[in-house]
Structure 1
């Protein structure tokens, strides 16, 4: 045994073989191993008797300027829904690594855990309104709510087929196009990532910060590459983001109503507000921000009025933050 450890060739072989085996195991696990089991289906409604429990929303880092406790449009979407629907809730901080499905937001309501903002809203509608997510009825179970309303929220059953289709189309553009464009400009572009670093990683010790930043940014890049957005030049991403906001503005402005839900906000209004507030009131360089401010004042007025009504505790809009994109152009 002693001769083995004194043999430089043997030690060199071990030094090569062990990392190779570990790397091989990582690659097989990462790229070729399927999940051990199918995910559990999302819960549809609260466990009977737990409807009065406080709904706890777990979300990420405090925003610099946004009204919510997170820079994520999905976290802000859920919190906005809770405020508009007047559902009692509390907010707690969390990291993706602590989430049941590896992503935030997630929520706990009594003994029930829900993940993904879409299924959270579905769960809340099913729990707190007779209508749920269907269009068969327009009633609420809560005492004091008007017919077709949940707090100040217009239930989907009050909307005609065209209204609902337009609202859902806007939501799809936001969550499956604009979200990833914004991710690219925040995490992929150096100006945006410099701000992200200050917000999320300011407390990380300097000796390990470069490694942490590289690992996190690589994971984000993998996500953006899988979506396709990272394969394009930043100028192309800018152009596509502006085009998508033009589409959203056209759909919104031609509806002829103050909200996507008509005279009151519907669930998709919560998504639209979250995306607009994230665009307009966070300090990230964005040509789309300048474009929306210049070309679509109706969207800006909508977002500001929505914020003032449902997030009065957030205070007035910080106009210095809103103008910041003009100072750092891509």
Structure 2
């Protein structure tokens, strides 16, 4: 989005904090997307939010937090708890990792319980996280992007979450919502995809 040249390095996947994403800039390691964006903005004097109002930025930030901190658990419930056996159909993973998926599922379930949301039934979890999509859809309304006519920084993260509902959770109630009454979210994803991912299909083939 900011047209910053970069080089992809897959040698150390999880980086110094064991978190994705992370970058190295002139020998300095920074982990977490928000910290990375703030670092690059300051270092390179960049802002993609200059044409976005304070009100739009506030709404976009709130929607990002909803997707990252709450809807995320609905995604986990559907993909890694209720449909963990289907994960290899969504992405190419090494055979060893396939064997570890049941353990991964148990660990994620415990994380959900520790968070609190995992103490609810799957039906209740889906009801709560479907409401997140309704909230984000309402905030987007008829706008092209959450930043207005142009995407803002938070559009990056919101797109990442909504795209999971649109393309990454086949057969889910989330997918049905985006194909139906919340179709503005799918149209939004298509716009982001067209603008920033012209090589989308090639990326999918190599995943």
The TM-score bracket by the shorter chain reads: 0.7 to 0.9
Matched, 1:102 2:12: no
Report the 3-state secondary structure (helix = DSSP H, G, I; strand = E; otherwise coil) of the residue aligned with 2:103: helix
Alpha-carbon offset, residue 200 of structure 1: 6.3
> 1:159/1:278 Cα in 2 relative to 1: closer, same or farther (>3 Å)?
same
> 1:103/1:285 Cα in 2 relative to 1: closer, same or farther (>3 Å)?
farther
CA RMSD of aligned residues (A): 2.5
The aligned residue for residue 123 of structure 1 is 39
**Which of the pair has the greater relative contact order for Cα pairs under 8 Å at 6+ separation?**
2
- Verify the 8 A CA contact 2:78 2:169 in the aligned structure 1: no
The aligned residue for residue 244 of structure 1 is 132
- Verify the 8 A CA contact 2:51 2:150 in the aligned structure 1: no
Moved over 6 A (4+): none
- Verify the 8 A CA contact 2:20 2:32 in the aligned structure 1: yes
> 1:228/1:93 Cα in 2 relative to 1: closer, same or farther (>3 Å)?
farther
- Verify the 8 A CA contact 2:71 2:129 in the aligned structure 1: yes
The aligned residue for residue 173 of structure 2 is 287
The aligned residue for residue 57 of structure 2 is 164
- Verify the 8 A CA contact 2:81 2:109 in the aligned structure 1: yes
> 1:227/1:93 Cα in 2 relative to 1: closer, same or farther (>3 Å)?
farther
Matched, 1:231 2:119: yes
Alpha-carbon offset, residue 93 of structure 1: 3.4
List aligned pairs for 1:1-330, cutoff 5 A.
84-93=1-10, 98-129=14-45, 140=46, 150=47, 154-155=48-49, 157-189=50-82, 191=83, 193-197=84-88, 199=91, 201-204=93-96, 209=99, 212-253=100-141, 256-315=142-201
Report the 3-state secondary structure (helix = DSSP H, G, I; strand = E; otherwise coil) of the residue aligned with 2:19: coil
Distance of 1:87 and 1:315 partners within structure 2: 22
Residues 241-272 of structure 1, C-alpha deviations (whole Å, 9 max, x = no match): 2111001011110xx53222222110011112
Consecutive unaligned residues in structure 2, runs of 5 or more:
none
Larger-gyration structure (1/2): 1
Residues 185-240 of structure 1, C-alpha deviations (whole Å, 9 max, x = no match): 11111x2x01225646542189xx3xx33432232222222222221111111111
- Verify the 8 A CA contact 1:186 1:196 in the aligned structure 2: yes
Distance of 2:12 and 2:123 partners within structure 1: 31
- Verify the 8 A CA contact 1:181 1:229 in the aligned structure 2: no
TM-score between the two structures when normalised by the length of structure 1: 0.56
- Verify the 8 A CA contact 1:95 1:104 in the aligned structure 2: no
> 1:239/1:186 Cα in 2 relative to 1: closer, same or farther (>3 Å)?
same
Aligned residues: 202
Alpha-carbon offset, residue 158 of structure 1: 3.7
